[in-house]
């Protein structure tokens, strides 16, 4: 395990109040020191960021969406309690993690997450998954329930057995063009991500291009292949960890009904419907981070099934 770089600190006062500047300007707490590490797990090398936090708190392991590096969730991490340890990583072929020789599948990845926790010295973690990463988080919780204390699923669905997005949206998701072409990202942001991106597509563009590290195109296609045929739907009633589901009321990629279905099937779950779209965890972290904090800090978040 080696250290290669530090994450950037808080923005300077001269940052313009547009796009990315507006997102970063909503930080409620000073950025905490973090270190990048290259970690070898099961023959794969992952670029990992660790914020140490309070050693008595379980870490929060973040699983990102398709095609984006760990930097995308920096606004969310900065909005969390600074005492909370946070682990982020780039999937193989994404950001700074080298691409694997052959594709992988979601069903094979729990051993990768378990190995990462082992390397970092953690027996158990809270796990948060966004979009594609929500599928990974579900699979990890189903396959390694003893490693997951609490589960947070954001803007995600149960895989192939879901209420799908419109064909136009699905076509846009088939290529990584939005990650490689800032102009294209701005043009389609409102239609693709909904929520705040409809009013401020430049902020969505900046999240994709100003806060993420670009990997090789095949990394994106490997992630697409990884979810082919995968679904968690029949096994959701077997999920053991208390689960918080965050779903946007204007998410073109993951229609809200998917969150409602998952809430009905996951016995120990809470559903929080927020105003916004697919990328609000980063674009509106100041409002969503406290919801996650309250769930992680609750004495028993599963004493009653609730919908907010």
β-strands 125-130, 148-154 pairing: parallel
Residue 135 has which token pair? Answer: 């599928």
Residue 295: other Cβ atoms inside 10 A: 21
pLDDT tens across the length of the chain (308 residues): 444 444 444 333 333 444 555 555 554 455 567 889 999 999 999 999 999 999 999 999 999 999 999 999 999 999 999 999 999 999 999 999 999 999 999 999 999 999 999 999 999 999 999 999 999 999 999 999 999 999 999 999 999 999 999 999 999 999 999 999 999 999 999 999 999 999 999 999 999 999 899 999 999 999 999 999 999 999 999 999 999 999 999 999 999 999 999 999 999 999 999 999 999 999 999 999 999 999 999 987 754 455 55
Residue 68 has which token pair? Answer: 């984006």
| Spatial separation of the C-alpha atoms in residues 28 and 268, rounded to whole Å | 31
Element (H, E) at 246: strand 243-248
Q: Give whole-number Cα distances, 34 to 6, 28, 117, in Å.
A: 6, 17, 17
pTM of the predicted structure, to 2 decimals: 0.90
Write out pLDDT tens, residues 240-292.
999 999 999 999 999 999 999 999 999 999 999 999 999 999 999 999 999 99
Residue 82, classified by CB atoms within 10 Å of its CB into exposed (0-12), middle (13-18) or buried (19+), is: middle
Element (H, E) at 86: strand 86-89
Q: Which of 120, 115, 119, 113 is nearest to 138 (CA)?
A: 113
Catalytic residue (one of 49, 97, 131, 143): 131
Those residues whose C-beta lies under 8 Å from the C-beta of residue 167, and which sit 6 or more positions away, are: none
6 is catalytic: no
- Is the distance from CB of 98 to CB of 121 less than 8 angstroms? no
- Is the distance from CB of 70 to CB of 90 less than 8 angstroms? yes
Span between the terminal Cα atoms of the chain, in Å: 42
Describe the strand order of the beta sheet including 269-274 as a list of residue ranges. Answer: 2-6, 35-41, 44-51, 86-89, 60-63, 125-130, 148-154, 243-248, 269-274, 306-307
Q: Which of 285, 131, 263, 273 is nearest to 193 (CA)?
A: 131
Write out pLDDT tens, residues 30-48.
556 788 999 999 999 999 9
The pLDDT assigned to 20 comes to: 55
Residue 233, classified by CB atoms within 10 Å of its CB into exposed (0-12), middle (13-18) or buried (19+), is: middle
């Amino acid at each position: 395990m080696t250290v290669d770089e530090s994450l950037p600190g808080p923005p300077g006062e001269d940052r313009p109040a547009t796009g990315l500047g507006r997102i970063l300007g909503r930080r409620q707490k000073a950025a905490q020191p973090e270190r990048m590490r290259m970690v070898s797990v099961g023959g794969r090398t992952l670029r990992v960021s660790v914020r140490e936090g309070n050693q008595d708190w379980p870490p929060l392991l973040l699983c990102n969406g398709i095609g984006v590096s760990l930097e995308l969730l920096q606004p969310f991490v900065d909005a969390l309690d600074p005492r909370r340890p946070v682990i982020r990583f780039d999937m193989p072929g994404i950001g700074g993690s080298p691409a694997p020789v052959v594709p992988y599948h979601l069903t094979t990845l729990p051993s990768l997450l378990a190995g990462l926790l082992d390397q970092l010295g953690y027996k158990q973690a809270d796990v948060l998954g966004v979009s594609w990463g929500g599928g990974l988080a579900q699979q990890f919780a189903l396959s390694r329930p003893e490693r997951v204390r609490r589960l947070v699923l954001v803007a995600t669905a149960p895989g192939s057995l879901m209420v799908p997005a419109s064909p136009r949206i699905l076509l846009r998701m088939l290529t990584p063009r939005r990650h490689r072409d800032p102009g294209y990202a701005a043009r389609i942001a409102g239609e693709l991500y909904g929520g705040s991106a409809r009013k401020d597509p430049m902020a969505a563009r900046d999240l994709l291009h100003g806060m993420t590290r670009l990997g090789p195109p095949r990394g994106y296609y490997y992630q697409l292949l990884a979810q082919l045929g995968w679904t968690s739907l029949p096994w959701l009633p077997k999920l053991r960890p208390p689960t918080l589901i965050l779903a946007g009321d204007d998410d073109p990629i993951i229609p809200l009904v998917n969150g409602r279905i998952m809430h009905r099937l996951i016995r120990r779950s809470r559903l929080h419907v927020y105003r916004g779209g697919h990328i609000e965890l980063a674009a509106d972290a100041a409002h969503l981070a406290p919801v996650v904090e309250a769930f992680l800090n609750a004495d028993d978040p599963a004493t009653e099934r609730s919908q907010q």
